[in-house]
Amino acid sequence: MSAGVSNRQFLLWALALLILAVYAAYAAWQWGLPWLAASATKLVPVSWEQEVGSSAAAAIAPGAKPCLAGVAAQLERALPPPNPYRFEIRCAAAQEVNALAAPGGYIVVFQGLLDAAGSEEEVAAVLAHEMQHVARRHATRAIFRAFALQAVAGLVFGDASGLIARVSGSLGALHYQRADEDEADREGVLLLKRAGLRPEALPEMLESLETATSGEVALPAWLSSHPDTKRRIAITRELARQLE
């Protein structure tokens, strides 16, 4: 074999290895992180979610008072067993049109959203949606995706303080995947029905929020973090109709 051929072979092998390495790095980023987040989420004890969630909820809305306990208990009883979560709703005085779920069962509802709701059942519909983000661990998985290193370190070393600091500063900026939102809508409508409330309240709430803010430039936070409101209204309305 001549020196020229073996050099060329070496270069081809090096090129192939380089392409493989780039592909592996891309795959780790594209699929490895979501896979790691999903796997870690399954291992997290509920007590750990409660520790992180309670601190995060307190940090994002300091001074928020426990509220809506009656309707929350009604929805909680209707969750299919086994349900390890005890829900606590806290109402914050800010005019933000928003509601947030922290892991472990803590949900913060802002006064702006309560004002925009057309009825108590519409508020229950928001709770039903947010409770599904907790029960299906969407909130926990979103945290693992966003803060993978702190979350895994916290879990391994049994110290969640670093993660709590990161989550507390950015709970409102956490994004769920589209599939999580669709699931929370769908299961939220079913939960309203099982709790003896009107499933139509979810599409009605979405319409109330659109109407309340139709003249404004910015969408209310609860709609902007949950994209494509018209599509959500159509899907949840059809599902509610099927349940009648």
Give me 59's structure tokens: 């940090």
User: Active-site residue 180, yes or no?
Assistant: no
The smaller minimum CB distance to Zn ion, of residues 54 and 225, is found at 225
Task: State which of positions 176-235 bind Zn ion (CB under 5 A).
Answer: 181, 184
Query: Can you tell me whether residue 136 is helix, strand or coil?
Result: coil
Task: State which of positions 17-46 bind Zn ion (CB under 5 A).
Answer: none
- Rounded to whole angstroms, the Cα distance separating 97 from 110 reads 6
Query: What residues contact 115, with CB distance under 8 A and at least 6 apart?
Result: 95, 212
Query: Can you tell me whether residue 101 is helix, strand or coil?
Result: strand
Least Å distance between CB 111 and Zn ion?
19
The smaller minimum CB distance to Zn ion, of residues 49 and 181, is found at 181
The smaller minimum CB distance to Zn ion, of residues 70 and 227, is found at 227
User: Active-site residue 159, yes or no?
Assistant: no
- Rounded to whole angstroms, the Cα distance separating 48 from 170 reads 18
- Rounded to whole angstroms, the Cα distance separating 183 from 157 reads 32
Least Å distance between CB 176 and Zn ion?
6
Least Å distance between CB 23 and Zn ion?
34
Number of residues binding to Zn ion, judged by CB under 5 A? 2
Amino acid found at 42: K
| Residue number, nearest CB to Zn ion | 184
The smaller minimum CB distance to Zn ion, of residues 121 and 160, is found at 121
Least Å distance between CB 32 and Zn ion?
25
- Rounded to whole angstroms, the Cα distance separating 228 from 18 reads 41
Least Å distance between CB 161 and Zn ion?
27
- Rounded to whole angstroms, the Cα distance separating 71 from 228 reads 27
Catalytic choice (130, 180, 187, 200): 130
Task: State which of positions 154-183 bind Zn ion (CB under 5 A).
Answer: 181
The smaller minimum CB distance to Zn ion, of residues 44 and 184, is found at 184
Catalytic choice (49, 122, 185, 200): 185
- Rounded to whole angstroms, the Cα distance separating 238 from 244 reads 10
Q: What are the C-alpha distances in Å from 125 to residues 36, 115, 152, 172?
A: 32, 14, 33, 20
Q: Where are the beta strands (DSSP E) in the chain?
A: 65-66, 88-92, 99-102, 106-110
Q: Name the site residues for Zn ion (rule: CB under 5 A).
A: 181, 184
Catalytic residues: 130, 185
